[in-house]
């Protein structure tokens, strides 16, 4: 088993095989050239994408660029970025260059517009998903504490 094995399992969308491979010691620290996220994203295989995340397969700098090269729509690219795909200025610029190489279509136009906005904004990546959840839990705890203090007064 090597990094290509995980790529091919993700490419065909076989979640059970992904789990079996990782449990059997298949490496998850993969090279960008065999990143399993872009083919799964292109297939819109949400279950496979979620399995890769759950199994601890990291997204790479090339994840977003690879998904753009495969012609993924904006909603899929946003999903990847929201879940941790690097989207810094250099990555967003490379992805924009990749989008320029795609055949002109409505999807390509939407992708290019979204990437241009990322580049223009300095490609500030969203906070990791756990940060937002932790903030929400903190707010709820503060509200509950304030409410219980008001009830005892």
pLDDT value, residue 65: 94
pLDDT value, residue 146: 60
Only one residue has tokens 């994203």, namely 41
* Rounded Cα–Cα distance for residues 27 and 34 (Å): 12
State the pLDDT confidence band at 134, using cuts at 50, 70 and 90: very low
DSSP conformation class of 32: G
* Rounded Cα–Cα distance for residues 102 and 89 (Å): 20
Output the CA torsion sign for 104, 39, 96, 85: positive
- Please say whether the beta carbons of 97 and 64 come within 8 A: no
Residue 58, judged by CB atoms within 10 A of its CB (0-12, 13-18, 19+), counts as middle
State the pLDDT confidence band at 68, using cuts at 50, 70 and 90: very high
- Mean pLDDT, to the nearest integer, of 90-94? 90
Only one residue has tokens 């010691």, namely 25
pLDDT value, residue 63: 92
State the pLDDT confidence band at 95, using cuts at 50, 70 and 90: very high
Q: Structure pTM?
A: 0.71
- Mean pLDDT, to the nearest integer, of 98-106? 86
């Amino acid at each position: 088993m090597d990094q290509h094995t995980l790529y091919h399992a993700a490419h065909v969308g076989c979640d059970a095989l992904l789990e079996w491979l990782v449990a059997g010691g298949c490496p998850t620290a993969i090279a960008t050239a065999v990143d399993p996220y872009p083919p799964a994203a292109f297939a819109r295989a949400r279950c496979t994408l979620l399995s890769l995340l759950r199994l601890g397969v990291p997204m790479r700098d090339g994840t977003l660029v690879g998904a753009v090269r495969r012609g993924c729509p904006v909603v899929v690219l946003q999903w990847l970025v929201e879940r941790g795909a690097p989207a810094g200025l250099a990555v967003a610029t490379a992805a924009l260059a990749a989008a320029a190489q795609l055949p002109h279509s409505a999807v390509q136009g939407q992708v290019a517009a979204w990437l241009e906005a990322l580049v223009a904004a300095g490609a500030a990546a969203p906070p990791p998903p756990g940060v937002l959840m932790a903030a929400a839990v903190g707010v709820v705890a503060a509200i509950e504490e304030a409410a219980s203090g008001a009830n005892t007064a």
